[in-house]
Amino acid sequence: MMVYSYDGSFEGLLCSFYRALKSDESPEEIVSRNETLRPLASEVKKIRTRAGRAEDVHNGIKEAISSRAARNIKYCYLSEETGIEIKLLRYLELGFRVGASLDDRLDEDPVFEIQQLARKVGRERHRMLGLVRFREMDRGGLYAPIEPDYNILGLLAPHFSSRMSSQNWIIHDRSRDLAVVYDRSEWVFTNLEAEDLPGYSNEEEYYQYLWRRYFDSASVPGRENEELQRQYMPRRYWKNLIEMD
C-alpha cells in the first residue's frame, strides 16, 4: 500500500494533494513526518514541499470548487486530527468532479464530516477572539497566552492586527510553543518559550483588579447558572482568563 509522507506544513499537504491528483498512485494514507508510520506501509513516498506549487493548488481549489472548500480544507488541517489528510484528499477529489456544488453534497462522504470538523475549528477561533486576554508588559507591549484545542493562532492574527494596529502585541500558544508577534506593521510566526518574557507594567495589576470587580458586579443575583457559563466558556480555557483564574 502506498503512503505519502509530508513535512507537516499546510503547503506540504497541498503538494501531497497535487501529487495524488496528478498521478495514479492513489495513496491510502498521507502522514506528517512527525508521526510514526504504520509498520504495514509497504511503499512510502516522501513529498517535497514547494511554495509555488502549494499556492497553485490553493488557487485551483478556489477557482474550480469554491473558497468555502478552500477554507474547510485549511480549517480541517489546523484541527491536527489524526488521519484527516486522506479524508481531505477524498473531499478534494469529489470537489474536482462536482465543482461548486461540493458543499451541498451532504450525502456523499466525507463532505458532512469535513464540514463539521471545519465548523468546530471555526467555532474555537470565534470563541478565542473574545477569550484572548492581553497583559500589558513593562515596555508597553501586550502579551496574551492561549492554549487552544486546535492550531488556530494564525486565524486569530489577522483579526488582532486590524483591531490593534497601533499596538505591539504577542499572542502565545503555550501548548505549541508557537507565537504570533505583531510590530505595528505586520505579524509573523515565531517559536517562543515562556521564559523569554518581560514582566508586567505598573498599571497592569490594577486593571486586572478592576476587570475582576466589574465581572463580579455584572452578574444578576437570583439567576445563577454556572453550568451554562461553563458550556460557553469551558473550564479548560479558564487558566488564561483574568476573571476566572
Report the alpha-carbon distance of residue 19 to residue 26 in Å, rounded: 9
Of the candidates 23, 26, 46, 215, which one interacts with another protein according to CB under 8 A?
215
What's the min distance (Å) between Cβ of 77 and another protein? 17
Q: Which is nearer to another protein, 189 or 207 (CB)?
A: 207
232 binds another protein (CB under 8 A): yes
In terms of Cα–Cα distance, which of 29, 82, 88 is closest to 61? 88
Of the candidates 100, 203, 236, 239, which one interacts with another protein according to CB under 8 A?
203
206 binds another protein (CB under 8 A): yes
Q: How many residues make contact with another protein (CB under 8 A)?
A: 57
209 binds another protein (CB under 8 A): yes
Q: Which is nearer to another protein, 6 or 75 (CB)?
A: 75
Of the candidates 25, 63, 104, 183, which one interacts with another protein according to CB under 8 A?
104
What's the min distance (Å) between Cβ of 2 and another protein? 31
First-to-last alpha carbon distance for the chain, in angstroms, is 50
Sign of CA dihedral 154, 132, 85, 9: positive
Collapsing DSSP to helix, strand or coil, 156 comes out as helix
Sequence-distant (≥ 6) Cβ neighbours of residue 219 within 8 angstroms: none
Q: Which is nearer to another protein, 22 or 139 (CB)?
A: 139
Of the candidates 21, 55, 100, 112, which one interacts with another protein according to CB under 8 A?
112
Of the candidates 40, 191, 226, 235, which one interacts with another protein according to CB under 8 A?
226
In the region spanning residues 20 to 39, those forming contacts with another protein, defined by CB under 8 A, are none
In terms of Cα–Cα distance, which of 51, 52, 41, 43 is closest to 23? 43
Give the per-residue contact string, 119-158, with another protein (x = CB under 8 A; - = no).
Answer: xx-xx--xx-xxxxxxxx-----x-x--------------
Report the alpha-carbon distance of residue 13 to residue 177 in Å, rounded: 22
Residues in the chain: 245
Determine the residue type at 85: E
Q: Which of the stretches 3-11, 26-34, 186-194, 236-244 binds another protein when contact is defined by CB under 8 A? A: 236-244
Q: Which is nearer to another protein, 68 or 127 (CB)?
A: 127
Strands (E), the chain: 2-6, 29-32, 43-46, 135-136, 142-146, 168-173, 178-183, 187-191
121 and 152 Cβ atoms separated by less than 8 Å: yes
